[in-house]
């Protein structure tokens, strides 16, 4: 213990101390600069343990990870023993490099991402012992937009990773009928199927074999019109109907006790109507993030409450678990939104997409009678495509003046050249 002399102990050599001391005068500045120069030649990164360095290198693109071998003798063996990240989708490497990479790498396989190359998949990569124990698999055929049609089949050899995969992202490929009957994915945590062709029986069998699944993406697939989901581990679901003739039209969530997020992705295609799907949530007691719900939804059920679009068709229960809500309607109506709030009184965030000018939303005391505004828990309001017209101003002003818990409003404008005087006028109109 140092003697109690009343003097402060010296500061440690750090950049933050240099910034503080730089405001002093005379010798204090010189001492700070000397300390900074003295530490410039030290290599603190190489002092990290091998497993930490290996994890850092494994997250780099394949080409950059291999180049770390030339840094120093300390780094020479790190890449070869670190988990292999073979990313061929966004970081292409010459075909002639692949045999050398797989033969020289002694570490486990972490990620294999490819934009479809049959030579990669069948002849070499799937048969390489280096890929045993693969954890992340990202595969799809590189087909130009508009030429998708019936996609090529998923290589059968891809299934040999099923026991170790934690993440599987598959797109633009066709699943043979009955493929999921004998497939078990015991540690898979994330499954993404996008623009794939898979039958209803195969999809259900595939999901039944995922006992640790937490994230599920089913967007723009073909061959399956309905899916029933019952999972004790799922926490997030993304669904989208797609554009094909036999696309996903109905999603039924039977029993998902851990589900926290449900998102519907709407396809936008030129020359085709925006197609929606029926969604039915039977049991999801922890569901906290819900959307995108739009006014063109044919039918949306949560518990015993039924919505047709954003209109409440049958109100039989109140959902208190939802905290974040995303709405999208072509005709902005304050009455519609307030009626919707009666079913979700506990949400604190709302994301509203304004597409067209709707009603004027002139409100008075009768609007306050639609819902007890003192009980609204709304803290954050986000509006996209805001134009500042009378309808939008009246909509926002209602929440500004009546919702006491409101903390943040974010208005995303339709245009990018909003002038300062326009912004100031909006602040005045909204009575901020």
Q: Give the integer Cα–Cα distance in Å for 148 and 372.
A: 52
pTM: 0.76
Query: Would you state the pLDDT for residue 21?
Result: 39
φ and ψ of 77, to 5 deg: -100, -5
pLDDT in tens, the chain (432 residues): 444 444 444 444 443 333 333 344 444 444 544 454 555 556 677 778 888 888 888 788 777 877 888 777 778 778 777 888 777 766 666 666 776 777 777 777 788 777 655 444 444 444 456 677 888 888 887 776 556 667 888 877 777 778 889 999 998 888 888 776 678 899 999 999 998 999 999 999 999 999 999 999 999 888 888 999 999 999 999 998 876 667 888 999 999 999 999 998 865 543 444 567 889 999 999 999 998 887 777 788 998 888 887 778 887 778 889 999 888 776 667 877 887 887 888 777 877 776 555 567 776 666 666 555 556 788 888 888 888 888 888 888 888 888 888 889 998 887 777 788 888 999 899 988
CA 241 to centroid of chain Cα atoms: 18
Query: Would you state the pLDDT for residue 24?
Result: 43
Which residue pairs, CB below 8 angstroms and at least 24 apart, start in 242-249? 242/195, 242/267, 242/275, 243/267, 243/269, 243/272, 243/275, 244/220, 246/222, 247/220, 247/221, 247/222, 247/275, 248/218, 248/221, 248/224, 248/277, 249/225, 249/277, 249/278
Query: Would you state the pLDDT for residue 10?
Result: 41
Strands (E), 132-245: 136-140, 167-171, 190-194, 215-219, 226-230, 236-240
Query: Would you state the pLDDT for residue 281?
Result: 94
Query: Would you state the pLDDT for residue 255?
Result: 92
Sequence-ordered alpha helix ranges (H) in 59-106: 62-67, 78-81, 97-104
Using alpha carbons, select from 149, 213, 136 the residue that is nearest to residue 180.
Answer: 213
Query: Would you state the pLDDT for residue 22?
Result: 36
On the CB side of 109, CA atoms within 13 Å amount to: 26
Query: Would you state the pLDDT for residue 126?
Result: 47
Residue-range domain boundaries for the chain? 13-42, 316-432
Residues 6 or more apart whose Cβ sits within 8 Å of residue 37: none
């Amino acid at each position: 213990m140092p003697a109690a002399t009343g003097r402060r102990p010296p500061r440690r050599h750090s950049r933050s101390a240099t910034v503080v001391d730089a405001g002093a005068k005379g010798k204090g500045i010189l001492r700070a600069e000397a300390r900074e120069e003295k530490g410039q030649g030290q290599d603190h990164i190489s002092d990290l343990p091998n497993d930490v360095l290996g994890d850092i290198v494994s997250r780099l693109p394949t080409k950059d990870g291999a180049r770390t071998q030339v840094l120093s003798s300390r780094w020479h063996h790190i890449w070869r023993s670190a988990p292999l990240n073979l990313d061929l989708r966004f970081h292409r490497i010459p075909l002639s490099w692949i045999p050398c990479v797989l033969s020289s790498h002694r570490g486990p396989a972490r990620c294999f991402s490819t934009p479809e190359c049959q030579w990669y998949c069948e002849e070499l990569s799937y048969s390489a012992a280096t890929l045993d124990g693969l954890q992340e698999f990202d595969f799809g055929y590189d087909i130009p937009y508009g030429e998708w049609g019936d996609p090529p089949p998923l290589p059968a050899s891809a299934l040999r990773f099923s026991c170790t995969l934690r993440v599987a992202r598959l797109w633009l490929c066709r699943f043979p009928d009955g493929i999921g009957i004998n497939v078990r994915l015991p540690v898979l945590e994330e499954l993404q199927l996008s623009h794939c062709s898979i039958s209803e029986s195969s999809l259900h069998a595939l999901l039944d074999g995922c006992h640790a699944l937490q994230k599920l993406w089913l967007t723009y697939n073909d061959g399956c019109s309905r899916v029933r989901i019952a999972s004790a581990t799922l926490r997030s679901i993304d669904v989208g109907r797609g554009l094909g003739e036999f696309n996903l039209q109905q999603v039924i969530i039977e029993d998902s006790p851990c589900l926290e997020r449900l998102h519907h992705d709407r396809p936008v295609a030129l020359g085709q109507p925006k197609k929606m799907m029926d969604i039915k949530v039977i049991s999801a007691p922890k569901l906290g993030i819900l959307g995108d719900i739009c006014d063109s939804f044919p039918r949306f059920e949560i518990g015993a409450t039924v919505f047709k679009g954003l209109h409440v068709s049958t109100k039989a229960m109140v959902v208190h678990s939802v905290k974040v809500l995303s709405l999208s309607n072509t005709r902005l109506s304050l009455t519609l939104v307030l009626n919707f709030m009666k079913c979700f009184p506990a949400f604190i965030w709302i994301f509203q997409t304004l597409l067209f000018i709707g009603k004027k939303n002139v409100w008075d005391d009768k609007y306050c009678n639609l819902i007890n505004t003192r009980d609204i828990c709304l803290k954050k309001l986000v509006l996209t495509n805001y134009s500042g017209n009378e309808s939008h101003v009246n909509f926002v002003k209602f929440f500004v003046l009546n919702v006491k818990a409101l903390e943040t409003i974010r208005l995303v404008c339709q245009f990018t050249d909003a002038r300062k005087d326009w912004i100031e006028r909006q602040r005045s109109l909204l009575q901020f």
